[in-house]
A and B are shown apart, each in its own frame.
Chain A
């Protein structure tokens, strides 16, 4: 008998011939925060929660994105960065990109480790948990892009900001490779003292576009 047949057979034996039908699962937890995506209260909550993870948020109007992204890079890396050190997701809107920045292509992913910063969009943001979700679409870029450069700038549109985890998951495609980011990478493995930045980006900057 194959291992597959064997394990499935064991499960059937364990559950017995007259296994109980599973009870209906009551999902009477909150399915939504009650506020529509982009509600001003949600934006404030998102900012508060993201900053609680020691990431920074810069807010701007729709016409000011490129300038604000540049300001975020100044803040994240210190002034004096070269545009060529910044790599952006291939589908990031032109008008959001710092002039002269490098656009990600199909180079071997490890080469992204040579760049100091990455700029991407997000698929959805969760206010209650301060989480940004990237979904591998052209605007968010492949997973290595938001992982290897040491500073990550994510641009979030207000209509992408939802209140709760259930609302966010309902908007996402589970077949895409998803990365949920809540603050910079961190460890508490040494005496539970939190240290930001282990293997992922040490600096996370969020640009929130009203």
Chain B
């Protein structure tokens, strides 16, 4: 299980009371209200189906997708095994090219660093490029608390910010809003907006363009995230569509980039793998409209002051778990959200964290400690679709089962579910016991009496489990028994 070395204190998780990794209610409670929202389900269903189909088309186009995916997986694993070396190299290279590197143990420290850097410029407003890391740490709230104005510049983030809402998808954060709702938000909140604004997406996008253009042109400080930080050259990369990223990375005098420590990649050549995997998995495009890369400061071109903030905030605690650490390989493409039957119905907000969907179900509980997001590892049917589409082959179902076992272990009170999962975990780790368990499940056939699924009316405490799930009636023989019968041992 967790690789805590003897005599060493457990590594700190992301602190409570700051940022957006924990929800106000558990996943099942939040999902119940989402499930009643027909509009939300319709929006989500349409959106996820559309992106899913586009992704499948452009992935099929590449004859070497499997090799790229395997290279992506192996590169991430190799990077994590030498994470300290790569970060030190990145720091050296960024510094050599005129940038300044800062280290932040957690959200509070990162927020303090960025606040101090912005205040030192004397600017009163900040333009921002969409970034998961800065949402995770609640940077906007921290900057606003000292009186700075923060402008999200990604269209969807702008919709979310103006609507005083929360993002619900990694890639298209306003996926839960339809055009009429967006028109209403713009008409209400954008000063001087044309009263004749319709709900045509083009008109809405142009209203956002006009609203932000002047801000870009006068901005003195920008804050961004980074998709990749390349250690051997000190090059940072941001992948985007609208050009708001380019505005922020190019026009202000000062650029502050907040990057999770897991985003480092060792060499420039590695980018050839990720720049093929990411856009196709993410928006289903052969390439996203704009990718910007920069190394430190370039005289006469772009910001003349560059700061890179390297963020831990629980990532090292994830790294300490030999099974769970694979969650750090994520390149935030959101493909796993779009194929997840649970996400499609429950929506992004149910996950309570800025990381929704299958990746959120394995990442958030590890960043916060599983006790603070205890319901998330159960927010999945373990169907495995997320693993199949993941461009870096993260075995999400395996990590979910692992976290469930960890959660169960951590619980003081032994609930029937806890006992069942503990037993399952033990059984799965011992082949002979597993086979015995499977044979024992034939008992279920007696209860089912020929029906395809077990009846809902099982006695408590099992009824708590079967009320919302159809348990298939166990087969007459287990898979291994049939295999042995037909193929021999």
Query: Which A residues are within 8 Å of any B CB, using their own CB?
Result: 2-4, 6-8, 10-17, 19-23, 25-30, 49, 52-53, 106, 109-110, 113, 126, 128-131, 136, 142-144, 147, 165-166, 169-170, 174-193, 195, 197-201
Contact = CB atoms under 8 A, between A and B. Distances in A.
A7 B204 contact: no
Nearest to A128: B286
Given A49-B286, A143-B249, A178-B294, 4 more contacts: A8-B88, A180-B287, A182-B287, A192-B175
Contact of A19 (B81, B105, B250): B81
B242 A16 contact: no
B242 A177 contact: no
Contact of B78 (A25, A187, A195): A25
B461 interface: no
Given A185-B290, A199-B213, A179 B97 contact: no
Contacts of A201: 243
Nearest to A180: B291
A125 B104 CA distance: 39
A13 B320 CA distance: 8
A56 B109 CA distance: 48
Contact of A189 (B11, B74, B172, B316): B172
Given A7-B312, A29-B68, A199-B247, A15 B286 contact: no
Given A13-B5, A110-B251, A190-B179, A169 B271 contact: yes
Contact of B301 (A14, A20, A22, A143): A143
B232 to A, nearest CB: 9
Interface stretch (B151-159, B340-348, B419-427, B445-453): B151-159
7 contacts: A7-B103, A8-B88, A177-B301, A178-B293, A190-B179, A192-B46, A192-B51
Given A7-B312, A23-B78, A179-B246, A110 B217 contact: yes
Nearest to B247: A199
Nearest to B156: A189
Nearest to B319: A14
A14 B302 CA distance: 38
Contacts of A28: 64, 67, 71
Interface stretch (B137-145, B272-280, B392-400, B462-470): B272-280
Contact of B300 (A53, A142, A182): A142
Given A142-B300, A147-B247, A185-B290, A23 B74 contact: yes
Contacts of A186: 241-242, 289
B209 A199 contact: yes
B77 A23 contact: yes
A169 B272 contact: yes
A7 B294 CA distance: 25
Categorize the interface residue count of chain B: 35 or more
Interface of B: 3, 5, 8, 11-12, 43, 46-47, 50-51, 63-64, 67-68, 70-71, 74-75, 77-79, 81-84, 87-88, 97, 102-105, 109, 153-156, 159, 172, 174-175, 178-179, 182, 201-202, 204-205, 208-209, 212-213, 216-218, 230, 233-235, 241-244, 246-247, 249-251, 261, 268-269, 271-273, 275-276, 283, 285-295, 298, 300-302, 310, 312, 316-317, 319-320, 325
B216 A199 contact: yes
A130 B316 CA distance: 39
B268 A147 contact: no
Contacts of A195: 201-202, 205
Contacts of B3: 14, 16
Q: Counting chain B CB atoms within 10 Å of each CB, which of A14, A19, A165 scores highest? A: A14
A75 B154 CA distance: 29
Nearest to B70: A26
A29 B75 contact: no
Nearest to A175: B295
Contacts of A15: 81, 83-84, 319
Contacts of B292: 143, 177-180
Nearest to B178: A191
B241 A187 contact: yes
Contacts of A166: 269, 272
Contacts of A144: 250-251, 301-302
Nearest to B267: A174
A198 B8 contact: no
Nearest to A17: B5
A103 to B, nearest CB: 15
A7 B101 CA distance: 13
A144 B295 CA distance: 17
Contact of B287 (A6, A131, A189): A131
Pairs of residues from A and B, 6 with the lowest C-beta to C-beta distance, nearest first: A200-B243, A22-B78, A199-B243, A185-B243, A10-B316, A14-B320
Given A14-B316, A30-B63, A165-B272, A21 B81 contact: yes
A117 to B, nearest CB: 16
A143 B302 contact: yes
A122 B54 CA distance: 29
B50 A192 contact: yes
A87 to B, nearest CB: 15
Given A174-B268, A188-B241, A142 B301 contact: yes
